[in-house]
Amino acid sequence: MTSTWLITGATSGFGHMVAERALAGGAHVIAVGRRSDRLAELADHAQQGRVTTIPLDITAPGAEQVLADAVRTAGGLDVLVNNAGYGLFGPVEQIDADNARAIFDTNVLANLAVLRAALPALRASRGRVVQISSVNGQSAWASSGLYSASKAAVELASEALAYELAHTGVKVTIVEPGLFATEFATSLQVVLPHEVYAPTVGKFLTDFSALPATAFGDAEKVVDAITAVATMEEPPLRLAVGADAVGRIRESLRSRLAELDRWESFSTGPVGQTV
């Protein structure tokens, strides 16, 4: 039986690559993205009837209903790859309310809207939810504050969702890529720091812009990971992809555990006790 995949952000990066991989495997793909031309290219290279293209800004009013209708028309859903999002980097203080609202609208609220549209059909099929996060969903650094916050929100919502859906057979996996060669690195929005943040945010952005091409992994590895967890009987809740992601997340977790241990007596001892 042909499986049906709903993939958001299917016009570029991981989303486009996963759509191509799913189509090559014989799936029917509901491909969602803002660029009609890229969706048309995807359909042109696929077997007739295998692609349903939906030009859509998932933050738009009514987007949830559009997606729910598409799933209903397709006759069900087996895999959701909730991938759409964008990067915003700069000092926390300097990111204004409009930009902060925009990244949460796209990376968090629209992600939730897609889930609401897809979950009834996924419960019926005992399907798979693949939430695309980032190493920044587990670890922040100077300049990543708002982006990290948006991905951390997705991660914790997804963790709760996995518990809530456990009895239904629906499996949830959060994929956390490190640095990979996609259009993301060239399309992200950057707020340049004021002088006070030059030693931290400024240095990070300068160092990042000087990274050689070899610092960015082969994006096919992320596609391999996404397609693998989408069909595993017992997939992981979280999957870091890339040596840099594994290393950074491990370092962050060790640091947090060390800090927890160091201050445990302060938290659990008598009031006023010092370490």
The one catalytic residue in 3, 12, 133, 144 is 133
58 contacts 8 by C-beta, under 8 angstroms = yes
The one catalytic residue in 12, 147, 148, 171 is 147
Beta strands per DSSP E along the chain: 4-8, 28-33, 51-55, 79-82, 88-89, 128-132, 171-177, 189-190, 238-241
The one catalytic residue in 139, 143, 148, 151 is 151
Give the tokens for residue 18.
């996963």
Give the tokens for residue 147.
């982006």
146 contacts 100 by C-beta, under 8 angstroms = yes
56 contacts 39 by C-beta, under 8 angstroms = no
The three-class DSSP label of residue 30 is strand
Beta strands per DSSP E along 62-213: 79-82, 88-89, 128-132, 171-177, 189-190
The three-class DSSP label of residue 63 is helix
Whole-angstrom distance, CA of residue 151 vs CA of residue 184: 15
Closest CA to 82 of 127, 48, 45, 42: 127
Catalytic (active site) residue 171: no
Catalytic (active site) residue 151: yes
Catalytic (active site) residue 125: no
Whole-angstrom distance, CA of residue 145 vs CA of residue 120: 33
User: Which residues are marked as active site?
Assistant: 133, 147, 151
